[in-house]
Chain A
Amino acid sequence: MAPRFHSPFRWRPVVINVAVVSLLMFGLSYVPADTSLSEIQRRGTLRVCIPPSRPPLVTGDPTYPGFDVALMLELSESMGITLKTRVVSAMGADFNPRNWRLSRSQCDVIAGGIVDSEETRGFLQTLPTDVQMGWGVIRPNTLVPEPRESVAVLPAPGLDRLALSQILRAEKADVVLVRDEAALIAALTTGRARIGLADKGIADRLAQDRTDLTSGWFKAEGVTRQSFALGFWKGDVELRRAFAHALSDMDEDGRLDDLRSEYGLPAAD
């Protein structure tokens, strides 16, 4: 009899061992990593924190709520849970997300202006929605360019304000900081500022409402567009995974593109 080592079946125990172990590990990879999803399914509601307005992500209009809100509605509906929105006024007013004072007790998901950056991912897990935003320019139709522009800036949380301030300093622009949209329009119409800089979504909406103003992307070297995402609390792996699956389903059946076109956002690459 040939020695066992030379048997044609010598690999059989090896194959069986490796297969059993691989199947075991594969099965265990489906073990829930946390209770974030089961907790929400048990509760039946998903709480999402949004700013009062951040067009086109959040509009504040219940009939046309904004891309992020509409997306969250679709996603939660497909998961069989009810969406509860909580408007946090600090989200629209302060650059620093720390000052938004958002906690788990307030919301399960944060939407309406979460920039998908490494800095954000230090604090939240993100689910990219393939929406890109950036600085937009709004100006009177009759504007004649001048070397030293007076610029009204409406701060936009999440956008790269450092790059913007460097450019404005380099251009020796006369900067007027405005607190809200009304102040921006007032600065432009009274001639206090020749052009306005704001979130592109806001600039577009303001220009849409008025015939004397026009809007567009603010194009300058060093100014980049930001990708936006939905924000999940760090460690809520199961909840984020469930939303990622639901989002992927929406992408596959075309509902995501429909939603994008409804809010005037370009289709994802």
Chain B
Amino acid sequence: MYGIWLREVVRALRDRGQIIGGVSRPLIWLLVLGIGLNPYFRGEVYGEVRVVLPYTYVQFLFPAVIVLNIMYTSILFAVSVIWDRQFGFLREILVSPLPTPLILLAKILGGSTIATVHGSIVLILARFADISLMPGQIALALLAMFCLSFTLTAFGVILANRVRNFEGFGVFSNTLILPLYFTSSSVFPLDPSLSRTQSIIVYPEWLVAAMRINPITYAVDFLRGILIGFNQFPAHIGPTLILLLGLVFFQVALFEFRRT
């Protein structure tokens, strides 16, 4: 089991392409988008701002960029499952004495570790975002990032079991990751000073509904709670949902893994 985990981790962290991807996303989202949009969210007259949040726009964006990095790494990690299947490695390890659930667990843990590393790379930019992090906050954030990575990697494995080639999997980044990210209150807040009825007036009802049923909304909210002390929703929803979905996705992934 350790061997499978190690193989995934070493392979991914040796791959410069993946590492560059893990760096370029936070740079684009935080440095370019954050700086670029700062003038639109900054205060010009006391009492008049576009977003009434006790944080700057970059601070608001910061936890969401960590989630974005984790989403990409976790879900695209499933490419390795397709790779292993196509090149026969999966068949080799499946005939080993190791039980199938442990094989799957080792692979998912490998993916989760890599995604957590990619998420923690963003934490280094905390100074840029003007966020002071205490050691306890960092530890809690890493734990939250690992749980989220586990859930999303298990989800990626489910997707990989339904996709037979690399080309088909590439479609997911545009049809799944980005829509999930953009409808998770990641780049704009559902104003906490407004009631639900008022937020529907500010944003169309379909968008508010999409945000509220999107589990990533609560994952982003969970990390925001840890890193900047801001929750748009009750703080317990995020961790509960991540753990619950992690268990469900792992069971489904196991079922499909066994079937294939």
Contact = CB atoms under 8 A, between A and B. Distances in A.
Interface in B47-63: 47-49, 52-58
A18 B34 CA distance: 24
Contact of B38 (A18, A30, A235): A235
A234 B47 contact: no
Interface in B4-52: 7, 9-10, 13-14, 16, 19, 22-23, 26-27, 31, 34-35, 38-39, 41-49, 52
Interface residues of A, number: 41
15 contacts: A14-B9, A14-B10, A17-B13, A18-B117, A26-B124, A29-B124, A34-B42, A96-B47, A98-B47, A101-B45, A101-B46, A103-B46, A123-B47, A235-B38, A235-B56
A97 B122 CA distance: 36
A100 B13 contact: no
B229 to A, nearest CB: 10
A43 interface: no
A123 B124 contact: no
B127 interface: yes
A145 interface: no
A103 B49 contact: no
Nearest to A110: B46
Contacts of A118: 54
B43 A123 contact: yes
Main secondary structure, interface of B, reads helix
Contacts of B45: 101-104
A237 B56 contact: yes
A25 interface: yes
A161 interface: no
Among B27, B125, B127, residue most surrounded by chain A Cβ atoms (within 10 Å): B127
Given A29-B127, A235-B57, A237-B58, A24 B42 contact: no
Given A98-B46, A104-B44, 12 more contacts: A22-B124, A25-B26, A29-B124, A30-B127, A31-B31, A33-B128, A97-B46, A102-B46, A104-B43, A110-B46, A122-B52, A124-B43
Interface of B: 7, 9-10, 13-14, 16, 19, 22-23, 26-27, 31, 34-35, 38-39, 41-49, 52-58, 117, 121-122, 124-130, 193
Nearest to B41: A235
Interface in A82-112: 96-98, 100-104, 110
A254 interface: no
A234 B16 contact: no
Contacts of B121: 21-22, 25
A103 B44 contact: yes
A97 B49 CA distance: 13
A13 B14 contact: yes
A17 B16 contact: yes
A97 B46 CA distance: 7
A232 B163 CA distance: 52
A240 B130 contact: yes
Contacts of A130: none
Interface string A181-213: 000000000000000000000000000000000
Sorted nearest first, the 10 A-B pairs with minimum C-beta distance are A235-B42, A98-B47, A121-B54, A234-B43, A25-B124, A102-B46, A29-B127, A14-B13, A122-B52, A29-B128
Given A11-B10, A118-B54, A234 B31 contact: no
A24 B23 contact: yes
Among A118, A123, A124, A231, residue most surrounded by chain B Cβ atoms (within 10 Å): A123
